[in-house]
Amino acid sequence: MTQTEWRGKRALVTGGNRGIGLEVVRQLGELGMEVYLGTRDLAAGESAAVSLGLPGIAPLRIDVAGPASVDAAREALAPEGVDVLVNNSGIYPRGDAAPEEVEEAWQVNALGGWRVTQAFLPPMRERGWGRIVNVSTELAKHADQQRGGGIYPVTKVVVNAMTRALAEDLGDTGILVNACSPGWCRSDMGGEGAPRSAAQGAASIVWGVTMPDDGSSGGFFQDGEPLPW
């Protein structure tokens, strides 16, 4: 699609109020999309939306770990829903995570994306067109050889598997589903010593959103290149 053709498409980016998520919101907004900036803290989301200085950006309260919150977000955007969904929300417990931290990571990183996708998929099916990008990590490549890293890469391996399964289920519906890694980026999660900027990481994700209608589905990519997993 050209830039003009993206204008007016509706997108939801979860975890969109800071870091890579905020940069994804920015880049989609610059393409002319109407973007819902998903955030657990509505005040933080409002501030983040204003900071971009772009038209068509609106905060939307959504806690991907809470079924009631996801349902409320779906109802707020009904009946049209969105054309584009970026499942970006994620947390990275450090070191030996406590059981409650492991549970939270599972609910947010793995089940959260599944929950949101199930909520916003029906209108895409009705239109016969859509894009779903699940934000993964390069730590999930070569999953059979991966060692260490705690619960975070485990949840992202699950994200990749769900991506492939959903792509197979959707078949020729016109909805493309892919997992994209932003790489190791400077952000609250990645730290200041990371080699890539949040904008670079976001561009890797936006590539997955803007691929043509005959593009890949069920793949795992970084910077437009396939990653093994």
What's residue 151's pLDDT? Answer: 85
What's residue 191's pLDDT? Answer: 65
What's residue 142's pLDDT? Answer: 62
Check the CA dihedral 31-36-38-41 and report its sign: positive
Query: pLDDT tens for residues 6-19?
Result: 999 999 999 999 99
Return the amino acid letter for 180. Answer: C
Question: Active site includes 152?
Answer: yes
* pLDDT mean over 183-197: 71
Query: pTM for this one?
Result: 0.93
What's residue 190's pLDDT? Answer: 62
What's residue 198's pLDDT? Answer: 81
pLDDT above 70 coverage of the chain, percent = 91
- 3-226 is a CATH 3.30.420.60 domain: no
Could you state, in order of their start, the residue ranges of all structural domains in the chain? 3-226
What's residue 196's pLDDT? Answer: 84
* pLDDT mean over 128-150: 78
What's residue 229's pLDDT? Answer: 76
Q: Check residues 154 and 34 and name the one with the higher pLDDT.
A: 34
* pLDDT mean over 45-73: 97
SS3 61: strand
Instruction: Check whether the bond before 79 is cis (ω within 30° of 0).
Output: yes
- Closest listed residue to residue 55, CA positions, set 28, 22, 23: 28
What's residue 37's pLDDT? Answer: 98
CA distance 142 to 26: 31
Mean pLDDT of the chain: 91
What's residue 148's pLDDT? Answer: 53
**pLDDT confidence bin for 188, thresholds 50/70/90:** low
**Residue corresponding to tokens 């803007």:** 210
Annotated catalytic residue: which of 120, 152, 221, 229?
A: 152
What's residue 141's pLDDT? Answer: 76
DSSP state letter for 138 = G
Lowest mean pLDDT segment, chosen from 31-35, 53-57, 173-177, 180-184: 180-184
**Does residue 146 surpass a pLDDT of 70?**
no
